[in-house]
Amino acid sequence: MSADFLYLVEVILNGLMAGVMYSLVALGFVLIFKASGIFNYAQGVMALFAALTLVGIQTGQVPFAHLINAIFGTNVHHFGWQVPTVLAIALTVGVMVLFAILVERYVLHHLVNQEPIILFMATIGLAYFMEGFGDIMWGSDIKTLDVGLPSGGSRWLEDYTLGWAAEGERYYGMYLDKLDMVASLVAIVLVVSLTIFSQYTKTGRALRAVADDHQAALSVGISLRTIWVIVWAIAGFVALVAGIMWGAKSGVQFSLSLIALKALPVLMLGGFTSIPGAIIGGLIIGVGEKVFEYSIGPLIGGATENWFAYVLALMFLVFRPQGLFGEKIIERV
Amino acid sequence: MFYRESGDFKKTYKLDSQTFPIKFDRWRYYFVMLVAFIVVPMFLTDYSANAVMIPFLVWAIAALGLNILVGYCGQLSLGTGGFMAVGAYSTYKLMTSFPGMDMISVIMLSGLVTAVVGAFFGLPSLRIKGFYLAVVTLAAQFFLVWLLNKVPWFYNYSASGQISAPQRELFGIVVTGPHATPVAAYLFCLIFAVGLAWIARNLTRGRMGRSWMAIRDMDIAAEIIGVNPLMAKLSAFAVSSFFIGVSGALLFSVYLGAAEVTEAFSINVSFAVLFMVIIGGLGSIFGSFIGAAFMVLMPVLLKNILVGGLGWPTDLAAHFELIIVGGLILVFLIVEPHGLAQMARVLKEKLRLWPFPH
Amino acid sequence: MTEPLQKMEAASKLLELKNIDLSFGGVKAISNISFDVMEGEVRAIIGPNGAGKSSMLNVINGFYHPQQGEIWFDGKQRHSMKPYQIAYQGIARTFQNIALFKGMSVLDNIMTGRFTHMHKNMLWQALWKGPAEQEEIVNREFVEGIIDFLEIQAIRKTPVGRLPYGLQKRVELGRALAAQPKMLLLDEPMAGMNVEEKEDMCRFILDVNDTFGTTIVLIEHDMGVVMDIADRVVVLDYGRKIGDGTPDVVRNDQTVIDAYLGVSH
């Protein structure tokens, strides 16, 4: 095998891994969209907020330390204890559930029956609010998240593939991030368990009923409000998983919330209502932007990853507006 | 009391369709113009011009533009930052390539360039609706910023990648560059703001404005009475982008003086202008101005109170700004989706009857 | 048929549909329907729910493109056209579920109906003073005529969203009339109205037909109304035509009675 070919394989594999990360965020979007027709722009900020909370609890940060210090002139920052990772994750899940309840009660409940575009803008407002709130609560400095996930490249893979290149070519083996591999595994587990949950549990059936038809679901005695809280809580959990993966990869910082923007084209490709669509859309975008950057990028100045996904989604939308797996939209007069 | 309407009958359709049909409103409008053109320049300081008045006018023009697209035509756009960048870079290229060209033409031409770019990115709007379209405009945002950053021709191969506005005069008065006085810069922006607001009003009250609103409210019904959806949407994109381009041109040449595309025209700009439109009022020209005023004044006030008054660190004040902006967006969407302008309208209805409401 | 004869026929026929076939995927909505509309008449389309009546209107004003068949309007065969181009040909319509512009006033809604009669370009409109304003006023005068005709003077500046159902229907009719159409398509203009409102609407329809000479095609479920105001009636059932003729003929047609009218008639 030629080294060029091996590089391409490596690029594709890395693209797949990056795609998994996008899919993780897109998954949260799909869940909320299916159950409430809301396009939740705040999903990315939820991931940021979840990761911030996790780090904060784990390292024993004093919440609102900044604010307290500014008002009372004190200088508190840490309680001085470390919370075990598992407990910290459990507590963060609790915070995300609480968040879901608050969002339902104070925002969604008042916006029932509004146009989708109004709801979308409301979630942008929610995103700003949460971002400011997260910053005030935990501070806006970049934090490292350590929950014991492996990091760095896989030496084993590098050594194993070293001999694959043709004789005489300079090739150092294939580089894949161990964290990315773990993330892929986690994503698979998450998707499988979500599928099982929605297919085989009573709550799952209720969720699907609501997704199909709000009115009909109400008429058989399903509480919309409860369902929405559950969905937002699950989306919060998915956000936490995404936050952990992204946070462990590149630190917990503001740019984490921008992955929400990347998830948008993923959804355009996969369709807003399809969980497999979100996964495959993420993979296509991940591979597409890596391969484009690898092959065309050097010719036009690089950093094409900033816009490639959006332009791909644009092209795609013009020819198939409902996405790969979305249901065909039939317009009735 | 204030709104004395009895005896103020409209005898022609022309009088009936004027912008301020009530005499009190008309006088108030003349009064505001008088204050803006004569009184404000007399009291303008460096700080009040650069922190409040000039940004207010520049953002108001951008908000007007976005309001035409979102508020009147119902097409959500998140590409405002990218389009402003196009306006800014067009101005830079025109100023440096044709040093003799007068600034009014430069700014107007920049607007036209942006209008063409905007119309191009509006093309998918025929097939794509709602937030699908919003994502397409995100493509415009990221692609344009990338393009302006990556092709050195756009910033004349400067080493820093920055563009900076050379000094230019209008009627012998310096309006751009470091030697422009605050008054000159303010009046220059004011002329554009007032002129463009007048054009926006004219476009939205006539045939074209009605075709936009028809598309917004019920696109199918609009089509059967002869509105070509593509033309209506493209014209909205073009007009909107023209305004936004002018705003970007003024932001760069008059207000900032120097700019770097990834910082000055990021996605946050797109959101900020969208917020101005929502808070001010979708589909209201007056609302675009109060929305811009709000978004410009609020950080200044917060900074003065929290940092200046209470001595808090600036980053904390910035976080509070996020919370307040986000919270207000939610409050407005829940309580009054038509924004401050609608609140003003309701107040006016009450005042018209005051003090005898029955 | 010889060439001149066909032309003469087309002159008196405003609209002719020949062998129209329309299907969505595998579902056949209209199969092999032909009928014509003479200039100046009131033509009714009746039939049970799902018979393809609304689809028929959608074919006429270009929302649906039939897979087969010919459409002749005003003496010319129509090829694939967009709905807004058909508006310029002189076909206006109202909808079964009111399709007004909710955010606009009654006046603006009806003014929008004048769209095809206003031509000043964007630059004139941006300036407003001069030609654009002049054009606006001329059209405003026409629209005020329609407002008078429909007796809705008092609500001209009210946002349409606030109006009761019957008035909204009237405004929608006004918007269609503002276009001065050659042919007006009305999709259940009297659905959901009480007797008085129905009487008003009937009066407006007949007045429009008389004073402006507008050809009218309407879908209506109230048989009393149809029999009173229609000159000729087409009966559809399951996407096929089962009757066509004057109200008297249709009323006594056995197939029509079996399929739709029922025995009591």
Is B348 among the domain residues?
no
Please judge whether A131 and B326 are an interchain contact, meaning their C-beta atoms are less than 8 angstroms apart.
yes
C58 contacts chain A (CB < 8 A):
yes
Asked whether the CA dihedral A78, A79, A82, A83 is positive or negative, the reply is negative
Give the per-residue SS3 of B27-58: HHHHHHHHHHHHHHHHHCCHHHHHHHHHHHHH
Alpha helix (H) residue ranges in chain B: 13-16, 23-34, 40-43, 46-47, 54-67, 80-97, 103-122, 130-150, 182-205, 207-217, 219-224, 229-250, 261-264, 267-280, 285-302, 314-335, 339-353
Q: Which residues are CB-neighbours of B60 under 8 A, at least 6 positions away?
A: B193, B197, B288, B289, B292, B293
Pick from B131, B142, B275: which is nearest to A306 by CB?
Answer: B142
Is A320 among the domain residues?
no
Q: Which residue of B has its CA nearest to A317?
A: B128
Please judge whether A303 and B313 are an interchain contact, meaning their C-beta atoms are less than 8 angstroms apart.
no
Is B6 among the domain residues?
no
Over chain C, what is the mean pLDDT? 85
Q: Which residue of B has its CA nearest to C89?
A: B226
- Measure C9 CA to nearest chain A CA, in Å: 32
Is B277 among the domain residues?
no
Give contacts of A 293-332 with C, CB under 8 A: 330
Please judge whether A307 and B143 are an interchain contact, meaning their C-beta atoms are less than 8 angstroms apart.
yes
Band (pLDDT 50/70/90 cuts) for residue C10 is very low
Pairs across A and C, CB distance < 8 A: 5
Distance between CA atoms of residues A29 and A39, nearest Å: 7
- Measure B211 CA to nearest chain C CA, in Å: 7
pLDDT of C4 reads 41
Please judge whether B223 and C132 are an interchain contact, meaning their C-beta atoms are less than 8 angstroms apart.
no
Please judge whether B337 and A114 are an interchain contact, meaning their C-beta atoms are less than 8 angstroms apart.
yes
Please judge whether C99 and B223 are an interchain contact, meaning their C-beta atoms are less than 8 angstroms apart.
no
Q: Which residue of A has its CA nearest to B121?
A: A314
Total domains, chain A: 1
Chains near C with 3+ CB pairs less than 8 A apart are A, B
How many helices (H) does chain B have, and how many strands (E)?
A: 17, 4
Please judge whether B216 and C137 are an interchain contact, meaning their C-beta atoms are less than 8 angstroms apart.
no
ipTM of this predicted complex?
0.86
Please judge whether A127 and B326 are an interchain contact, meaning their C-beta atoms are less than 8 angstroms apart.
yes
Tens-place pLDDT, residues A172-184: 677 777 888 888 8
Q: Tokens 């979305």 identify what position?
A: A326
Cis peptide before B355 (omega within 30 of 0): yes
pLDDT tops 60 at residue C77: yes
Task: Look at residues A14, A24, A15, A23 and name the one whose alpha carbon lies nearest to residue A242.
Answer: A24
Band (pLDDT 50/70/90 cuts) for residue C183 is very high
Q: Which residue of A has its CA nearest to B219?
A: A333
pLDDT of C265 reads 43
CB B184 within 8 A of CB B174: yes
Tens-place pLDDT, residues A66-99: 777 777 777 777 777 788 888 888 999 999 999 8
pLDDT of A224 reads 81
Please judge whether A314 and B124 are an interchain contact, meaning their C-beta atoms are less than 8 angstroms apart.
yes
Section C242-250 average pLDDT: 88
Element housing C45 (H / E): strand C42-46
Tens-place pLDDT, residues A24-51: 888 888 888 877 778 888 888 888 899 8
Please judge whether B226 and C84 are an interchain contact, meaning their C-beta atoms are less than 8 angstroms apart.
yes
- Measure B228 CA to nearest chain C CA, in Å: 6
CB B93 within 8 A of CB B234: no
Is B13 among the domain residues?
no
Chains near B with 3+ CB pairs less than 8 A apart are A, C
Tens-place pLDDT, residues A122-171: 888 899 899 889 888 888 777 777 777 777 777 777 777 766 666 666 66
Section B43-51 average pLDDT: 84
Alpha-carbon torsion, ordered B336, B337, B340, B343, to 10 deg: -40
CB B114 within 8 A of CB B133: no
Query: What backbone phi and psi angles, to 5 degrees, belong to B318?
Result: -65, -40
Q: Which of A12-21, B283-292, C93-102 has the lowest mean pLDDT?
A: A12-21
Q: Which residue of B has its CA nearest to A297?
A: B150
Please judge whether C125 and B224 are an interchain contact, meaning their C-beta atoms are less than 8 angstroms apart.
no
Total domains, chain B: 1
Alpha carbon distances (Å) from C239 to C50, C199, C230: 8, 30, 21
How far from the centroid of its chain's Cα atoms is residue A25's Cα? 2
Is A209 among the domain residues?
yes
Please judge whether B221 and C100 are an interchain contact, meaning their C-beta atoms are less than 8 angstroms apart.
yes
Is A155 among the domain residues?
yes
Residues in chain A closer than 8 A to B146 (CB atoms): 303-304, 306-307
Tens-place pLDDT, residues B221-273: 898 888 998 999 999 999 999 999 999 999 999 998 888 888 889 888 998 99
pLDDT tops 90 at residue A211: no
Take residue B140 and report the two structure tokens written for it: 């415009």
pLDDT tops 50 at residue C2: no
Chains near A with 3+ CB pairs less than 8 A apart are B, C
Section B342-358 average pLDDT: 74
Asked whether the CA dihedral B99, B101, B104, B105 is positive or negative, the reply is negative
Residues in chain B closer than 8 A to C107 (CB atoms): none
Tens-place pLDDT, residues C51-76: 888 888 889 988 888 888 889 988 88
- Measure B251 CA to nearest chain C CA, in Å: 24
C61 contacts chain A (CB < 8 A):
no
Give the per-residue SS3 of B48-86: HHHHHHHHHHHHHHHHHHHHHHHHHCCCCCCCHHHHHHH
pLDDT of A323 reads 63
Is A170 among the domain residues?
yes
Range of the domain at A48: 3-254
Element housing C256 (H / E): helix C254-256
Take residue B125 and report the two structure tokens written for it: 């709007």
Is B307 among the domain residues?
no
Please judge whether A128 and B322 are an interchain contact, meaning their C-beta atoms are less than 8 angstroms apart.
yes
Chain B residue set in contact with C, beta carbons under 8 Å: 12-14, 17, 199, 202-203, 205-208, 210-211, 213-214, 216-218, 220-229, 235, 239, 283
Is A94 among the domain residues?
yes
Distance between CA atoms of residues B338 and C3, nearest Å: 61
pTM over the 0.90 mark: no
Range of the domain at B91: 44-266
CB A194 within 8 A of CB A276: no
- Measure C127 CA to nearest chain B CA, in Å: 7
Please judge whether B207 and C120 are an interchain contact, meaning their C-beta atoms are less than 8 angstroms apart.
yes
Which residues partner with C77 through β-bridges?
Answer: C72
pLDDT tops 90 at residue B85: yes
The top-scoring range by mean pLDDT among B12-26, B283-297, C125-139 is B283-297
Pick from A107, A129, A268: which is nearest to B323 by CB?
Answer: A129
Is B36 among the domain residues?
no
Q: Give the number of other CB atoms < 10 A from CB of residue C40.
A: 16
Band (pLDDT 50/70/90 cuts) for residue C43 is very high
Please judge whether B330 and A129 are an interchain contact, meaning their C-beta atoms are less than 8 angstroms apart.
yes
Alpha carbon distances (Å) from A315 to A13, A262, A309, B139: 24, 16, 10, 10
Tens-place pLDDT, residues A311-326: 888 777 777 766 666 5
CA angle B262, B268, B274 (to 5 degrees): 135
Tens-place pLDDT, residues B272-307: 999 899 888 888 899 999 999 988 988 888 888 888
Q: Tokens 């004093």 identify what position?
A: A62
Calculate what percentage of chain A has a pLDDT beyond 90: 4
pLDDT tops 70 at residue C3: no
- Measure B217 CA to nearest chain C CA, in Å: 5
Is B328 among the domain residues?
no
Query: What backbone phi and psi angles, to 5 degrees, belong to C26?
Result: -95, -10
Calculate what percentage of chain B has a pLDDT beyond 90: 32
Residue of B104 and B341 predicted with greater confidence: B104
CB B326 within 8 A of CB B279: no
Section B99-109 average pLDDT: 89
Q: Which residue of B has its CA nearest to A311?
A: B139
Alpha carbon distances (Å) from B22 to B7, B17, B18, B343, C43: 11, 11, 9, 18, 48
pLDDT of A322 reads 65
Distance between CA atoms of residues A68 and A54, nearest Å: 20
Residues in chain C closer than 8 A to A333 (CB atoms): 54, 58, 63, 95
Tens-place pLDDT, residues C210-221: 888 899 999 988
pLDDT tops 80 at residue A328: no
pLDDT tops 90 at residue A11: no
pLDDT tops 70 at residue C5: no
pLDDT of C216 reads 93
Distance between CA atoms of residues A309 and A23, nearest Å: 13
Please judge whether A317 and B319 are an interchain contact, meaning their C-beta atoms are less than 8 angstroms apart.
no
pLDDT of B4 reads 59
Alpha-carbon torsion, ordered C179, C184, C186, C189, to 10 deg: 70
Please judge whether A333 and B220 are an interchain contact, meaning their C-beta atoms are less than 8 angstroms apart.
yes
How far from the centroid of its chain's Cα atoms is residue C242's Cα? 22
pLDDT tops 80 at residue B7: no
